[in-house]
Amino acid sequence: MIPNFSIRMTPEVKAVIEAMEKVTTQDELNVIANAWQARMNNIASAKKMILKKGQTIEWTNKGLTRIATVLKVNRKTVEVVDAGANPFGRTVTRVPLSMVDKVVEEAA
């Protein structure tokens, strides 16, 4: 049975979920977890190369897409502030690099 998530389900994601249903031991789940972590690190590394301070990006968390401006690029995260936020009371958010979807606007 495939869970009902609020995000779009690609055929690849459906296939992975169906394959996971056949896993029967904790050792097998540990192998999957390690592969997942390695893939997340690969995605983050690729995105870190293209992100620069001042760019406007789009990022997604639990199906909700946000637009924000990059303040700082860290090793595994990027610090962003919502696009259009004023300097008083703005919230800086640390977003994992793997959650960044795309660069909307290049830095000036």
Q: Say if residue 54's pLDDT is above 70.
A: yes
Q: What is the pTM of this model?
A: 0.66
**Residue-level pLDDT at 1:** 53
User: Which fold, 1-108?
Assistant: SH3 type barrels. (2.30.30)
Instruction: Give residue-wise pLDDT tens across range 57-103.
Output: 999 888 889 999 999 999 889 999 987 777 777 889 999 988 898 88
Please spell the DSSP secondary structure of the chain, one letter per residue: -----SS---HHHHHHHHHHTT--SHHHHHHHHHHHHHHHHHHHHHHHTT--TT-EEEEEETTEEEEEEEEEE-SSEEEEEETT--SSS--EEEEEGGGEEEEEE---
pLDDT band at 2 (very low <50, low <70, confident <90, very high): low
